[in-house]
Chains A and B, each alone.
Chain A
Amino acid sequence: MSWVKAVSVDGDVFDEDGDDITLQNKEWKKNMEKRVKDGYRDGMDAGKEASLQVGFNLGYKEGAEKMGAVGQLKGILSALQTWYSLQQPESPVPPSVSQLLRAVVRHEEVMVEKMSMAQLQASASVGGITESMEDMEVEHTNTDTDCRGDGCGNKDCCRKGAAQEADSTSPPTPCQTTTQSSFSPEESLDHLLRSCMDLVEELGLPEQLFHHVQQLRNP
């Protein structure tokens, strides 16, 4: 840290004087280093606080825009699957529908996985910085603190022994590094959309649906 160095350089000037001063100087140096550390930490906290929401908003829009088409495609194919299984319970759903649905689900999973990986990496790299800052007593502000405040103490958790009111928390996404390198989201999404259009035509489904999928290709 340049500031710590600056303190040392300034300090050296005094070192030429007597022991007494050296002692005072050491004390002073210590104080200055502490001031630097405090200042850095305060600045870090304030900077983070000021930018987290900005970053979140930017990311949110980006993420949302990426998923619109694939989400709809999944919805369309799921609807077709349920439609066929309700219309003709005795005969199986056209394999083309279930196959394409599986491909779309996989595509969506990979996209989300990629984003989650980036999230993990980001927090890991931030973690790294935090670690190296530890000797400077720079605290990592916990932005995820989510204290519900209303501890469940006297709630009916304990009513008749078995009541649990667990909130839905999604399990951590398992790390899957396979298929990442060869995956191009744009290219394969377009391919999936085209397959869906072919399918709608083949099965003689309403034209309106065909046009809707077509629109998803060129938003």
Chain B
Amino acid sequence: MKDTLNVLHKFNAHPDSRCWYVAWNPTGTLLASCGGDRTIRIWAREGDSWECRFLLPEGHQRTVRKVAWSPCGRYLASASFDATTCIWGKKGDDFECLTVLEGHENEVKCVAWAPSGSLLATCSRDKSVWVWEVDEEDEYECVSVVNAHTQDVKHVIWHPTQELLASASYDNTVRLYREEDDDWVCKATLEGHAATVWSLAFDPSGQRLASCSDDRTVKIWKESHSASEEDGAGTSSDLHWKCICTLSGFHSRAIYDVSWCQQTGALATACGDDGVRVFKEDTNSGPHQTIFSLSVHMPKAHSQDVNCVAWNPKEAGVLASCSDDGTIVIWRYQSDT
């Protein structure tokens, strides 16, 4: 049997605008989307179709670039070009903006919750990454501002189990951060991409990190414990991550997003050539050799750039993608292995 990717649903989520990003809630029942029309919508499946369950009230003055659900699923954070981050929560039958996080100088590009739910990270074109703490009264306080990147920071993501933060930037690097003496400090710089790094994804165990770039490649990075002992350089707290695999030659344009399926380990990409691709790890891939091969390529998955791909966290093989054409497509991926 050949691996397949079939359309389950397709809907016009942000008509006459771009759909920038989609995010599944932790139970995989709701899909939040955001777009160039400054709106945030929350979608749910109703019978055979997907309906907009909530249209969040106007909270942002400009494009909403990313959305993220809190690990408990009760809050949604949105990052906007209006330099703010909003925290939304359900009050009665509607979502309401509970807090506005201000501080970034200009466009906020991404927001991400730590697995504990008590920390939030944001990043911006102002080159900085901010870490916010959420206290018992749901008050947010900035605990650190890190200026490690030399350019626009495109994406932030937390490690699935540890308090380890990763960021991707227009300066072509990926950086990793840890807390140290009440401050968040850059502990590693992953160099290798030849252009903007657009997005990141950890594998289910958190041992590997995938990055995708404007240079049309995906790179897989892995922590190498031996490095610090070997060269003896750097402080003992520095992290060492090495590129163990590069997927090149598969994409004809910039790759804007990458998603690592928590159940199947399959890797999906969103590409500027309008295509969606799924890669799977070869069975003879081992600790010393990592091999990914193209499982499915869906050219013209959308009629314009694909901006985001997101695996459903609970339902294996269900993938959502969204595009500059304003639509969201829900796919089912099936593999014979």
Contacts and interface: CB of A to CB of B under 8 A. Distances in A.
Given A159-B254, A165-B170, A154 B151 contact: no
B82 interface: no
Query: Which size class do A's interface residues fall under?
Result: under 10
A134 interface: no
B152 interface: yes
Contacts of B324: 160
**Across chains A and B, which 9 residue pairs bring their CB atoms closest together, nearest first?**
A156-B196, A156-B214, A165-B152, A154-B195, A155-B195, A165-B170, A165-B151, A155-B196, A156-B170
A165 B196 CA distance: 12
B252 to A, nearest CB: 14
Nearest to B152: A165
A82 to B, nearest CB: 15
Interface in B298-324: 305, 324
A154 B214 contact: yes
Interface in B97-155: 125, 151-152
Contacts of A154: 195, 214
Contacts of B170: 155-156, 165
Contacts, number: 20
Nearest to A153: B195
B195 to A, nearest CB: 6
A168 B305 CA distance: 30
Contacts of B195: 154-156
Interface string A150-168: 0000111001100001000
Interface of B: 125, 151-152, 170, 195-196, 214, 254, 305, 324
Nearest to B214: A156
Contacts of B254: 156, 159
17 contacts: A154-B195, A154-B214, A155-B170, A155-B196, A155-B214, A156-B170, A156-B195, A156-B196, A156-B214, A156-B254, A159-B196, A159-B214, A159-B254, A160-B324, A165-B125, A165-B151, A165-B170
Nearest to A156: B196
Nearest to B194: A154
A154 B214 CA distance: 8
B299 to A, nearest CB: 21
A160 B214 CA distance: 13
A160 B195 CA distance: 16
Contacts of B151: 165
A159 B109 CA distance: 15
Contacts of A156: 170, 195-196, 214, 254
Interface string A118-160: 0000000000000000000000000000000000001110011
Contacts of A159: 196, 214, 254
A30 to B, nearest CB: 51
Contacts of A165: 125, 151-152, 170
A155 B197 CA distance: 10
Nearest to B305: A160
B248 to A, nearest CB: 15
A35 B114 CA distance: 70
Interface in A160-186: 160, 165
A158 to B, nearest CB: 10
A167 to B, nearest CB: 9
A156 B170 CA distance: 8
Nearest to A167: B151
A155 B151 CA distance: 12
Contacts of A155: 170, 195-196, 214
A31 B191 CA distance: 53
Given A155-B195, A165-B125, 12 more contacts: A154-B195, A155-B170, A156-B170, A156-B195, A156-B196, A156-B254, A159-B196, A159-B214, A159-B254, A160-B305, A160-B324, A165-B152
Nearest to B154: A156
A165 B152 CA distance: 8
